[in-house]
Amino acid sequence: MPGRLRPARLVVVAGTGTEVGKTWVACELARRLRGRGLKVNARKLAQSFAPEDGPTDAARLAEATGEKAAAVCPPARWYPKAMAPPMAAESLGLASFSLADLLGELRWPPALDVGLVECAGGVGSPQADFADGVDLVERLLPEWVVLVAGAGLGTLNDVRLAARALSGHPLLVYLNHYDGDEELHVRNRRWLAERDGLFVAVTPAGLAEAVQGR
């Protein structure tokens, strides 16, 4: 974001798909980084949701960072429809928007240690008209991309495909719901680390340490 206020460390939280736990991971990461004395803010450029599902992602991120939900995601970008944000906007009869529109609305406070940006859906999910999660990462150029994935069957395929799409960007993989007593989880972690050379975290504390270390 040339010419714009930028956190000392920018982290994009992406996922291999929807419902993999991105918001939970982002919240836990924020809490642990704040516990280390860092000033942390979170942003979700647009959010879509089913109104009956309880607190929105922006509300949960706001609680974890001590902000207001309207600072995490501009209210004009709240779309009460469980679809990708640009699709939800279209379904609701609202104006379409571009990635440039979303980035133009992105604001950070001064002297911020870590800024977290949570993607909507998976790496290939639309974030705006004609722009997906990969496009967002390429525009933001973060210090880290945290890729949240499941720990069980199918995660090797999901992580490896997402990692290829994000090639060239510094990547941290987080295996959500990891169980060290589950053989498949252990083998998945080992395969990704040893065969694919990926950094794989399985606890929020380990993830926070990796994010702070760069």
pLDDT tens for 4-35 read 689 999 999 999 999 999 999 999 999 999 99
pLDDT of residue 1: 43
How does the average pLDDT of the chain come out, rounded? 96
44 annotated active-site: yes
Distance CA 78, CA 45 (A): 9
- Token reading at 112: 């911020």
Predicted structure pTM score: 0.95
pLDDT tens for 128-181 read 999 999 999 999 999 999 999 999 999 999 999 999 999 999 999 999 999 999
Distance CA 64, CA 42 (A): 9
Beta bridge partners of 126: 132
Distance CA 16, CA 147 (A): 7
Using CA of residue 214, residue 32, residue 66, residue 104, what is the dihedral sign?
positive
Give yes or no for residue 69 having a pLDDT over 50: yes
Given the residues 22, 44, 68, 81, select the one marked as catalytic.
44
- What separation, in Å, do the N-terminal and C-terminal C-alpha atoms of the chain show? 19
Q: Torsions phi, psi of 35, nearest 5? A: -65, -20
Q: Which CATH class is domain 9-213?
A: alpha beta
